[in-house]
Amino acid sequence: DLYMSGYDGEAHTMTATLKNTSLLSKAFSLEIADNPSVIEYPTWLKPLTKRGSILSNNQNTVQFAVDTNLLPGIYTGVVSALVDGLPVSMNVTFELLAKPVNWPFNADQYQYSMTVVAQFSLDASDTNLSSDSRDLVGAFVGGQIRGVSNIEYIPSLNVYRAFLTVYSNVLGGGGAETVNFRFWRALTGVEYSAVEEVTFVLDKTTGSVENPLILHPIGFHQVIPLNKGWNWISLNLEADDMSKEQIFLNLLNSPSGNVITVKSKAQTTTYSPSSNWSGNLSDLQLGPGYLVHLSNAPDTLRVAGLPSPSTIVLGVSGSWNWIGFPRLEPEPVDIVLTNLNAAVTGDILKSQSQFSAFEASTNSWLGNLKFFNPGKGYKLNLQNPGTIIFDASRGDGFETDPYKYEYNMNINGAANLVLIGEEKEEDLIVGAFVDNECRGTGYLEYNAKLHDWRVVMLVNGNAEDIEKEIEFRFKNETSGSIYVTNGEQLSFAPDAIEGTIEQPYQFFQGTTAIEESEEWEYSLEQSRPNPTSGMVEIGFQVPEKGKVQMTLFDMDGNEILRAVDKVLTPGRHVVKLDLTALPVGLYYYELHTSKFSGVKKLVKQ
């Protein structure tokens, strides 16, 4: 077996060895065009050597490049080479670690100290606590780090705690400093700001092993790696202070000594360690794109804030525009720019390394720039002025993190949409809520055998949620309308299965089946199940015979596989895919014809 680990953001190569213990030379291959099923390696590995030969009683090394777009996690698979017509296989495991947050600190610069025994929660409760010794807690004063500690395991009490020493040169009293906290989750590489703060008091101890100071997130830290030279960036978090001095505060405290140049399409500003800020760019905004130049060395920009709860409207001119992407998750270009009615054939959208052009005949953006990504900046060249509307982020609460919960339950459901005045089932998403918090979502899907629509979903919860009432809400993703069900009698129960496909749970009491439409139309259904750990089904409809393509992309717009690429007859079709070998993360699939283009996302867990 072959095992390797490495840090996120770096290039990694795994090396395997093929040995020949026979008396004859042996040829090997990792790629056979006429029989690809014999050769096997995970999609996150690409062989750098695809064929060769090994002398008698000798060996040959084979290198595999690890996909640079993987998210932190553990990836496993099997690598097979063909030798003498027979496969020779080996198990491979790669552990991708989130790169540790850079909080450099030197305690020798300070005279005084106090101590804090801390823990952190990933939500507003006191129960969703860290149990990872790689996690970090940091103390800060005015953006300057004053202490850092890992989470430590205490076997005698079976608890995890951070023992943090906080430093200062101010004793306390009237000029006492306010200490803020941040915590970093190693599993995801996400940095959070904490609600809690303390006043520095010499030799004081805050918290204890039995009753630690529990930190709760006040918001996020947008983390944007910056290279030496020019970087195209944008912001997706909003703070009370959006001045250049506050946004770039952590870069000013960096030992790199960079001269920092920031410019929008019309304004610019420069920071020099010797002369501070100068220039007419004073505040940054969500929506526009910016170019940032570092003179000496790479660094990392960290911006604290919260996602904007409002829809952002960005006017664009009939020429070059510098735009950003003010949302937390990647979204397809076609979806983000769907309301840009001013687009005509030949309009160009560029990132720092990719581009796409608008094609009016297909009403889509064609090229290798397929997704807007958080933190990135873009240049948009239009022939006509228009407006880009970035829909409100997390405004309706139909998002959930299943990894926060220990248990889940299954629901197989159905609903009569006539009761709420809806007609298009494929536009609806169902959300399950406990204590007004979304605990799971699902889409209505058409079942060809039953000639009816069903939703199959998971509802997540912890021990304290057992027997709590579940509320269901329906959201039309096209119109934004939200409907709340009444009179539900369902409570959370770990591992319970509520309803079956044949006898589903009725979200609205007394619903009836929806009859099959006699007219087919273009539509793309949500993958089932979603999230998935392996097998997945994707349904879609086409109203006329023609060439159909369905493609799966990763979050950076790289094509993973072509699921459909052929001429199909009118009707509903279902594609079955085995995604077992794909790494955990967010993916998008696109249905494309000469007259239709639709995109949805799926989650591999």
Q: Angle 393-582-190 (CA atoms, 0-180°, nearest 5)?
A: 40
Residues 338-358 have a mean pLDDT of 88
Does pLDDT of 251 surpass 50?
yes
Residues 6+ apart with CB under 8 A from 579: 532, 534, 535, 536, 587, 604
Residues 400-420 have a mean pLDDT of 77
List, in sequence order, every residue forming a beta bridge with 471; answer none if it has no partner: 433
- What is the reported pLDDT for 394? 42
Contact 505, 413 (CB under 8 A): yes
Q: What is the dihedral of CA 496, 502, 506, 510, to 10 degrees?
A: -140
Quick one: what percent of the chain has pLDDT higher than 70?
Answer: 87
Does pLDDT of 514 surpass 50?
no
**3-class DSSP state for residue 343?**
coil
Alpha carbon distances (Å) from 26 to 35, 61, 84, 154, 312:
19, 14, 7, 55, 63
* Range with the largest mean pLDDT of 131-135, 344-348, 565-569: 344-348
Structure token pair of residue 30:
């990792």
Contact 494, 409 (CB under 8 A): yes
What distance in Å separates the CA atoms of residue 523 and residue 30, rounded to the nearest whole number? 39
List, in sequence order, every residue forming a beta bridge with 523; answer none if it has no partner: 541
Q: Angle 469-473-479 (CA atoms, 0-180°, nearest 5)?
A: 170
Contact 325, 334 (CB under 8 A): no
What distance in Å separates the CA atoms of residue 277 and residue 300, rounded to the nearest whole number? 19
Mean pLDDT of the chain: 83
Quick one: what percent of the chain has pLDDT higher than 90?
Answer: 26
Closest by CA to 597, choosing from 323, 350, 358, 373, is 358
pLDDT digits (tens, 9 = 90+) for 535-566: 888 888 888 888 898 988 876 677 888 888 88
What distance in Å separates the CA atoms of residue 413 and residue 432, rounded to the nearest whole number? 12
Query: pLDDT band at 74, cuts 50/70/90?
Result: low
- 83-92, 130-139, 307-316, range with the lowest pLDDT: 83-92
Element (H, E) at 220: strand 217-226
Which one has a higher pLDDT value, 286 or 254?
286
Is the model's pTM score more than 0.75?
no
Length of the chain counted residue by residue: 605
- What is the reported pLDDT for 203? 94
Which residue pairs from 274-279 have beta carbons closer than 8 angstroms and sit at least 24 positions apart in sequence?
277/244, 277/245
Which one has a higher pLDDT value, 201 or 542?
201
pLDDT digits (tens, 9 = 90+) for 349-388: 999 988 999 988 888 888 888 888 889 999 999 999 988 9
Pairing of strands 136-141, 73-83: unpaired
What distance in Å separates the CA atoms of residue 556 and residue 370, rounded to the nearest whole number? 8
- 166-175, 239-248, 260-269, 501-510, range with the lowest pLDDT: 501-510
